[in-house]
Amino acid sequence: MSTHILKEILNGLTENGFRAAVFAKSDGLPLAGVSTEMINEKSLAPIIAMFSEVSSEAKEELSLTSEMQEIKIKYGDATILCRSVLIENDKSEKEKFLIAAVAPPEEDVETMQYQAKLLDWAIENAQPVLQDLLTL
């Protein structure tokens, strides 16, 4: 099943230091997630949907023309990373999915780059699966 592959991708993130990770639809419906003892991915999905909605409102209010690419919220003990994943449907329209992860705090540039590369990897590997989900 497609969501099994998404979960394996997210496991790759948590095995590399992320505390939780989730793929969700833009409305906050989780497609797949991985929790740790500290964080439940089912809580993360609606939170990132809310972030995405606020970014859409900001886009309108600020007369921006492109879609949100990434949201990053830094805390002293963690960083929430959220990215928009646009997938083209069979009508050549873009459907938006979200990936989010709770990562350790960004202590230096190398950590920030490593976390960004991990998210790039997850998105790249998830795109075919998300494309398949659009056909269901």
pLDDT at 1: 54
Give tens-digit pLDDT for 71-130: 999 999 999 999 999 998 888 788 999 999 999 998 889 999 999 999 999 999 999 999
Q: Residue 42 and residue 47: Cα distance in Å, rounded?
A: 9
pLDDT at 89: 82
How many percent of the chain have pLDDT more than 90? 74
H helices present in the chain, as ranges: 2-14, 41-61, 109-134
Record the pTM: 0.89
Which domains does the chain show, CATH number per domain? 2-130 (3.30.450.30)
pLDDT surpassing 90 at residue 35: no
CA-wise closest residue to 87 among 96, 99, 75: 96
